[in-house]
Structure 1
Amino acid sequence: MLTIIDKYILKRYLATFSVMILLFIPIGIVIDVSEKVDKMLENHVPFTAIAFYYYNFTIYFANSLFPIFLFLSVIWFTSKLANNTEIIAVLSSGISYPRFLRPYIIGASIVSLFMLIMGFFIVPAASEGFNNFRYTYLKGNGKQIMRGENTNVYRQINDNDFLYVNSFNDETKTAFNFSLEHFEKDKLKYKITASRIKWDPKKKTYTMYDYTKRTVGELGDVIEKSPEKNTAFKFELEDLTPVIYIAETLTLGKLYDFIEKEKKRGSGSINIYMVVLYKKYSVPVSAFILTIIAVAVSSMKRRGGMGMNLAIGIAIAFSFVFFDKIFGTLAEQSSFSPLIAVWFPNIVFGILAIYLLYNAKR
Structure 2
Amino acid sequence: MLLLFVPIGITVDLAEKVGKMLENNVPLSEAVFYYLNFTVYFANLLFPLFLFLSVIWFTSKLANNTEIVAFLSSGVSFSRFLRPYLIGATIVASFAMFLGMYLAPIASQGFNEFKFKYLKKGKSVQQTRDVYQQINDNDYIYVSNFIPSTSTGMHFTYEHFEGNELKYKIFADNIRYIEKDSAYRLTNYLKRSFENGVETIETDKRKLMSFPFELEDLTPVEYAAETKSYGELLDFIAAEKRRGSPNIGRYEVVKLKKWSLPVSIFILTIIAVAVSSIKRRGGMGVNLAFGIAIAMIYVFFDKVFGVMAEQSDFSAVVAVWFPNVIFGILAVYLLQNAKR
Cα offsets for 1:323-352 (capped at 9, x unmatched): 111111111122221111111111100000
Distance 1:198 1:76 in 2: 60
Shift of 1:213: 3.1
**Counterpart Cα distance in 2 of 1:199 and 1:316:** 54
1:161 aligns with 2:140: yes
Inter-partner Cα distance in structure 1 for 2:170 and 2:294:
59
- Given candidates 341, 346, 355, the residue that maps to 2:324 is 346
**Aligned pair in 2 of structure 1 residues 347, 80: CA closer, same or farther (>3 Å)?**
same
Structure-2 residue corresponding to 1:23: 4
Give yes or no for contact 1:197–1:206 (8 Å, CA) kept in 2.
Answer: yes
**279, 289, 300: which is aligned to 2:267?**
289
Which of the numbers 52, 58, 64 marks the counterpart of 1:77? 58
Question: What is the aligned partner in structure 2 of residue 123 from structure 1?
Answer: 104
Contact 1:155 / 1:239 at 8 angstroms: preserved in 2?
no
Describe the SS at the equivalent of 2:213.
coil
- Matched residue type, 2:99: M
Structure 1: tracts of 5 or more residues without a match? 1-19
Please state how far the C-alpha of 1:191 moved relative to its aligned partner. Answer: 2.8
1:1-362 alignment, distance < 5 Å: 20-140=1-121, 146-148=124-126, 150-152=127-129, 153-158=131-136, 159-164=138-143, 166-169=146-149, 175-177=151-153, 179=156, 181-184=158-161, 185-186=165-166, 189-192=169-172, 194=174, 196-197=176-177, 206-208=182-184, 213-216=189-192, 218=199, 220-225=201-206, 229=208, 232-236=210-214, 239-362=217-340
CA 1:239/1:44 → structure 2, altered by over 3 Å: closer, same or farther?
same
CA distance, structure 1, for counterparts of residue 94 and residue 124 of structure 2: 33
Q: Which amino acid is 1:27 matched to?
A: I
Whether the 8 Å CA contact 1:68–1:318 is kept in 2: the answer is: no
Q: Secondary structure at the match of 2:148?
A: strand
Q: How far 1:190 moved relative to its partner?
A: 1.3
Compute the displacement of 1:243 (Å).
Answer: 4.1
SS at match of 1:216: strand
Q: Normalized against structure 1, the TM-score is what? A: 0.83
Change (3 A) 1:332 1:163: same
Match of 2:196 in 1: none
- Is this contact kept in 2: 1:146–1:167, CA < 8 A? no
CA contact (8 A) 1:136 1:146 kept: no
Identity %: 56
Displacement of 1:238 in angstroms is 5.2
Aligned residues: 328
Alignment CA distance shift 1:279-1:89 (3 Å): same
CA contact (8 A) 2:89 2:266 kept: yes
Cα distance in 2 for partners of 1:342, 1:272 equals: 11
Q: Which segment drifts farther, 47-56 or 180-189?
A: 180-189
Helix, strand or coil: the match of 1:215?
Answer: strand
Matches of 1:208 and 1:282, distance apart in 2 = 43
Ranges in structure 2 where 5+ consecutive residues have no aligned partner: 194-198
Q: Is the 8 A contact 1:196 1:208 kept in 2?
A: yes
Equivalent-residue separation in structure 2 for 1:53 and 1:22 (angstroms): 18
Helix, strand or coil for the counterpart of 2:133? strand
RMSD of aligned alpha carbons? 2.4
**1:307-338 deviations in whole A, cap 9, x for unaligned?**
00001000011111111111111111222211
1:176–1:48 CA distance, 2 compared to 1 (3 A)? farther
Judging changes above 3 Å, is the alpha-carbon distance between structure 1 residues 219 and 251 closer, same or farther for their aligned structure 2 residues? closer
Q: CA deviation at 1:209?
A: 5.8
Q: Which residue of 2 aligns with 1:10?
A: none
8 Å Cα contact 2:89/2:265 also seen in 1:
yes
CA contact under 8 A between 1:215 and 1:223: conserved in structure 2? no
Partners of 2:246 and 2:88 in 1: CA distance:
40
Alpha-carbon separation, structure 2, partners of 1:234 and 1:219: 23
User: Is the contact between residue 151 and residue 177 of structure 2 (CA under 8 Å) also seen in structure 1?
Assistant: yes
How has the CA–CA distance of structure 1 residues 297 and 29 changed in structure 2, closer, same or farther, with 3 Å as cutoff? same
1:235 deviates by 1.8
The range that moved more, 34-43 or 241-250, is 241-250
Q: Are the structure 2 counterparts of residues 208 and 345 from structure 1 closer, same or farther at C-alpha, using a change threshold of 3 Å?
A: same
1:111 corresponds to which letter in structure 2?
V
Distance 1:198 1:75 in 2: 60
